[in-house]
C-alpha cells in the first residue's frame, strides 16, 4: 500500500496556478495523482469555512477520478489551516475529532481520521508555537491531547498517521540546530513531547529507515532564496505508524519538488 502526505499551503493556489510557485505546486499535485496512492493526506488546505468551491471540487475530481474526498476546513477562521484526505480505499467511517485542545484549535480543521477494516489512517496539521513562542503553552497542551487521541485509536487497531507536525525531533533533523535551538519547532518542550508520542507506541518511519542519514528535510523556508539550493531545511513532516506495523514498512521517502520551497510531500509504502 502506498500513502502520500503533503502540507500543500493552499489548495486554491495549486488549482489556480497563476504564479510561478503555483505552477510548481500544480505540477507536484499532478505527479502525486499519477502515482495513485491508496490514500493522499493534505494539510494547510486554507479552504473557506464552507469547504471546497465548485471549481475546486471539479478540478480535484478530474485529477483524482477514483477517489473519495473528505475535507475538514477551519470554522474558527476561514481560509486558515484545514486538512483533506483523498482515498481510493472505502473507509468504514470518517471522523473530524475534537480532542479537547485549547482555544480555537479544535475548530481549525486540524485532524481527519479514516477507519478501515484493519487500521486507522489519520492526518494532522499541528499548531505552530508562533512568533516569540506566544503559543508554546497551548502547543504543549495540544501535544498532550493529541497523543491521548492517537493512543485511543491505537487501543482499537493499528494507526498510520501523517502530517506537518511542526517539530524537528533531533539535531539531525534540521540543518542549523544550534542557531535554531529554542526557536518554534525546535524547543526542548516540543521535542520532548514528540519523544513522548513515540514512546507511547509509535515509530517514526523515515528515521527508522534512515537512522543516521543527515540532510533529509521536508521544509525549506521561503524567506531565504537559497534554502532549497543549499538544502538548509527542517524535517517537520512525518509518517508515524503503530510499532506493530513498523516491520511492514518498505519505504519512507521525501518526494522531490525541484526548486519549490516550503513543504515537500512525503511517501510511505507498506507491505499488505
Closest by alpha carbon to 3, among 87, 92, 65?
87
Select which of 9, 141, 143, 164 is catalytic.
Answer: 164
The DSSP H or E segment spanning 179 is helix 177-180
Select which of 9, 67, 106, 125 is catalytic.
Answer: 125
Q: Please answer whether residues 32 and 263 qualify as being in contact, where contact means their C-beta atoms are separated by less than 8 angstroms.
A: no
- Whether 125 is a known active-site residue: answer yes
CA 16 to chain centre: 22
- Whether 204 is a known active-site residue: answer no
Distance CA 153, CA 159 (A): 7
Closest by alpha carbon to 64, among 35, 96, 93?
35
Distance CA 5, CA 265 (A): 6
Please, what sign has the CA dihedral across residues 105, 109, 110, 116?
positive
Q: Please answer whether residues 142 and 127 qualify as being in contact, where contact means their C-beta atoms are separated by less than 8 angstroms.
A: yes
Q: What are phi and psi of 242, to 5 degrees?
A: -55, 140
Q: Beta-carbon neighbour count of residue 171 at 10 Å? A: 15
Distance CA 267, CA 70 (A): 20
Q: How many residues does the chain have?
A: 272
Write the secondary structure of 10-64 as one string of H (helix), E (strand) and C (coil).
CHHHHHHCCCHHHHHHHHHHHHHHHHCCCEEEEECCCCECCECCHHHHHHHHHHC
Q: Would you please indicate which residues are annotated as catalytic (active-site) residues?
A: 125, 164
Amino acid at each position: 500500500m502506498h500513502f502520500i502526505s503533503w502540507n500543500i499551503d493552499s489548495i486554491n493556489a495549486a488549482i489556480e496556478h497563476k504564479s510561478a510557485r503555483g505552477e510548481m505546486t500544480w505540477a507536484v499535485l499532478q505527479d502525486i495523482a499519477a502515482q495513485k496512492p491508496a490514500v493522499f493526506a493534505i494539510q494547510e488546505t486554507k479552504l473557506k469555512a464552507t469547504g471546497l468551491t465548485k471549481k475546486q471540487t471539479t478540478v480535484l475530481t478530474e485529477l483524482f477520478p477514483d477517489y473519495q474526498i473528505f475535507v475538514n476546513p477551519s470554522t474558527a477562521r476561514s481560509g486558515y489551516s484545514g486538512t483533506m484526505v483523498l482515498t481510493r480505499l472505502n473507509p468504514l467511517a470518517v471522523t473530524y475529532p475534537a480532542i479537547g485542545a485549547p482555544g480555537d484549535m479544535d475548530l481549525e480543521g486540524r485532524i481527519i481520521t479514516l477507519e478501515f477494516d484493519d487500521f486507522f489512517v489519520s492526518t494532522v496539521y499541528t499548531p505552530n508555537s508562533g512568533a516569540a513562542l506566544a503559543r508554546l503553552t497551548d502547543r504543549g497542551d495540544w501535544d498532550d491531547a493529541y497523543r491521548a487521541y492517537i493512543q485511543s485509536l491505537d487501543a482499537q487497531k493499528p494507526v498510520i498517521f501523517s502530517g506537518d507536525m511542526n517539530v524537528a525531533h533531533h539535531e539531525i533533523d534540521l540543518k542549523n540546530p544550534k542557531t535554531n535551538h529554542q526557536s518554534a519547532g525546535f524547543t526542548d518542550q516540543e521535542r520532548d513531547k514528540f519523544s513522548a508520542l513515540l514512546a507511547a507506541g509509535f515509530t517514526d518511519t523515515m528515521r527508522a529507515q534512515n537512522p543516521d542519514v543527515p540532510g533529509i528535510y521536508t521544509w525549506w523556508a521561503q524567506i531565504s532564496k537559497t534554502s532549497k539550493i543549499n538544502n538548509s531545511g527542517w524535517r517537520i513532516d512525518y509518517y508515524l505508524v503503530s510499532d506493530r506495523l513498523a516491520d511492514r514498512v518498505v519505504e519512507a521517502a521525501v518526494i522531490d519538488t525541484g526548486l519549490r520551497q516550503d513543504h515537500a510531500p512525503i511517501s510511505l509504502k507498506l507491505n499488505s
